[in-house]
Amino acid sequence: MTSFVDVCAFEDIPNGKHRAFNVDGLSILIFRINPDVFALENRCTHLDFPLEGGRQIGSDIICRKHGARFDIRSGKAVVGPAVDPLRRFEVRVREGRVEVKPSMPLSRNPFVRAAS
Ligand code: FES
Protein backbone atom coordinates (compact mmCIF):
# COMPACT_ATOMS: atom_id res chain seq x y z
CA MET A 1 0.00 0.00 0.00
CA THR A 2 1.36 3.39 -0.96
CA SER A 3 1.71 5.83 1.86
CA PHE A 4 2.05 9.56 2.04
CA VAL A 5 5.56 11.04 2.06
CA ASP A 6 6.42 14.10 4.12
CA VAL A 7 7.53 16.87 1.74
CA CYS A 8 7.67 20.23 3.54
CA ALA A 9 5.98 22.51 6.02
CA PHE A 10 2.76 24.14 4.83
CA GLU A 11 4.37 27.48 5.67
CA ASP A 12 7.26 26.72 3.28
CA ILE A 13 4.92 27.48 0.36
CA PRO A 14 3.78 31.11 0.30
CA ASN A 15 0.17 31.58 -0.70
CA GLY A 16 -0.16 31.86 -4.47
CA LYS A 17 3.26 30.30 -5.06
CA HIS A 18 4.80 26.90 -5.74
CA ARG A 19 7.99 24.97 -5.07
CA ALA A 20 9.49 21.84 -6.59
CA PHE A 21 10.53 18.85 -4.51
CA ASN A 22 12.11 15.55 -5.41
CA VAL A 23 9.81 12.88 -4.03
CA ASP A 24 10.79 9.27 -4.63
CA GLY A 25 12.67 10.25 -7.79
CA LEU A 26 9.87 12.38 -9.18
CA SER A 27 10.01 16.15 -9.43
CA ILE A 28 6.72 17.30 -7.97
CA LEU A 29 5.43 20.85 -7.71
CA ILE A 30 3.54 21.77 -4.58
CA PHE A 31 1.18 24.72 -5.06
CA ARG A 32 -0.57 26.65 -2.37
CA ILE A 33 -3.78 28.43 -3.13
CA ASN A 34 -5.03 29.28 0.30
CA PRO A 35 -6.18 27.19 2.06
CA ASP A 36 -5.59 24.38 -0.44
CA VAL A 37 -2.47 22.61 -1.68
CA PHE A 38 -2.04 20.79 -4.98
CA ALA A 39 0.66 18.45 -6.26
CA LEU A 40 1.49 18.20 -9.96
CA GLU A 41 4.37 16.71 -11.90
CA ASN A 42 7.03 19.33 -12.66
CA ARG A 43 6.99 18.63 -16.39
CA CYS A 44 5.12 20.48 -19.09
CA THR A 45 3.25 18.00 -21.26
CA HIS A 46 4.20 19.89 -24.41
CA LEU A 47 7.97 19.26 -24.56
CA ASP A 48 8.84 18.12 -21.03
CA PHE A 49 10.12 21.50 -19.89
CA PRO A 50 10.16 22.02 -16.08
CA LEU A 51 7.22 24.13 -14.93
CA GLU A 52 8.94 25.36 -11.79
CA GLY A 53 9.33 29.11 -11.89
CA GLY A 54 6.49 29.56 -14.35
CA ARG A 55 4.20 32.49 -13.73
CA GLN A 56 1.35 31.54 -11.40
CA ILE A 57 -1.82 33.51 -11.96
CA GLY A 58 -4.65 32.57 -9.63
CA SER A 59 -5.15 28.85 -10.12
CA ASP A 60 -3.17 28.67 -13.38
CA ILE A 61 0.52 28.18 -14.13
CA ILE A 62 2.16 29.21 -17.37
CA CYS A 63 5.04 27.27 -18.90
CA ARG A 64 8.09 29.52 -19.47
CA LYS A 65 9.08 27.72 -22.67
CA HIS A 66 6.16 28.26 -25.06
CA GLY A 67 3.40 29.65 -22.87
CA ALA A 68 1.12 26.68 -22.32
CA ARG A 69 -1.23 27.34 -19.44
CA PHE A 70 -2.46 24.71 -17.00
CA ASP A 71 -5.22 24.71 -14.41
CA ILE A 72 -3.47 23.82 -11.14
CA ARG A 73 -6.65 22.41 -9.59
CA SER A 74 -7.33 19.90 -12.37
CA GLY A 75 -3.99 19.68 -14.19
CA LYS A 76 -5.85 20.38 -17.43
CA ALA A 77 -4.13 22.27 -20.23
CA VAL A 78 -6.29 25.34 -20.81
CA VAL A 79 -4.07 27.14 -23.36
CA GLY A 80 -1.82 25.44 -25.92
CA PRO A 81 0.48 24.39 -27.28
CA ALA A 82 0.19 21.70 -24.58
CA VAL A 83 -2.86 19.47 -24.94
CA ASP A 84 -2.40 16.73 -22.37
CA PRO A 85 -2.99 17.37 -18.67
CA LEU A 86 -0.34 17.36 -15.97
CA ARG A 87 -0.13 14.34 -13.69
CA ARG A 88 -1.71 15.08 -10.35
CA PHE A 89 -0.88 13.46 -7.06
CA GLU A 90 -2.79 12.95 -3.87
CA VAL A 91 -1.72 15.56 -1.35
CA ARG A 92 -2.78 16.50 2.16
CA VAL A 93 -1.77 18.73 5.05
CA ARG A 94 -1.36 17.07 8.43
CA GLU A 95 -0.20 18.89 11.54
CA GLY A 96 1.26 21.67 9.41
CA ARG A 97 3.15 19.30 7.08
CA VAL A 98 2.48 18.76 3.37
CA GLU A 99 2.39 15.07 2.44
CA VAL A 100 2.19 13.54 -1.04
CA LYS A 101 1.52 10.06 -2.39
CA PRO A 102 4.13 10.01 -5.17
CA SER A 103 3.22 6.67 -6.68
CA MET A 104 -0.47 7.40 -6.79
CA PRO A 105 -0.96 9.86 -9.62
CA LEU A 106 -4.57 10.91 -9.93
CA SER A 107 -4.32 9.78 -13.52
CA ARG A 108 -7.72 8.24 -13.70
CA ASN A 109 -9.20 11.64 -14.31
CA PRO A 110 -11.06 12.15 -17.57
CA PHE A 111 -8.31 14.29 -19.06
CA VAL A 112 -5.65 11.62 -19.23
CA ARG A 113 -5.24 9.68 -22.42
CA ALA A 114 -4.83 5.94 -22.19
CA ALA A 115 -1.35 4.68 -23.07
CA SER A 116 -1.15 3.21 -26.52
S1 FES B 1 7.45 23.04 -23.26
FE2 FES B 1 5.86 23.99 -22.14
S3 FES B 1 4.71 25.02 -23.65
FE4 FES B 1 6.29 24.05 -24.75
Angle 16-17-23 (CA atoms, 0-180°, nearest 5)?
Answer: 135
Ligand 1 proximal residues by C-beta, below 6 Å: 44, 46-47, 49, 63, 65-68, 81-82
38-60: per-residue pLDDT in tens?
999 999 999 999 999 999 999 99
> Domains plus CATH for the chain?
5-105 (2.102.10.10)
CA 20 centroid distance within chain: 9
**What is the enclosing helix (H) or strand (E) of 36?**
strand 36-41
Angle 38-10-69 (CA atoms, 0-180°, nearest 5)?
Answer: 30
**Substitution candidate for ligand 1 out of 29, 49, 78, 84 with most atoms within 8 A of CB:** 49
Ligand 1 centroid distance, CA of 94 (Å): 33
pLDDT of residue 112: 40
pLDDT surpasses 50 at 113: no
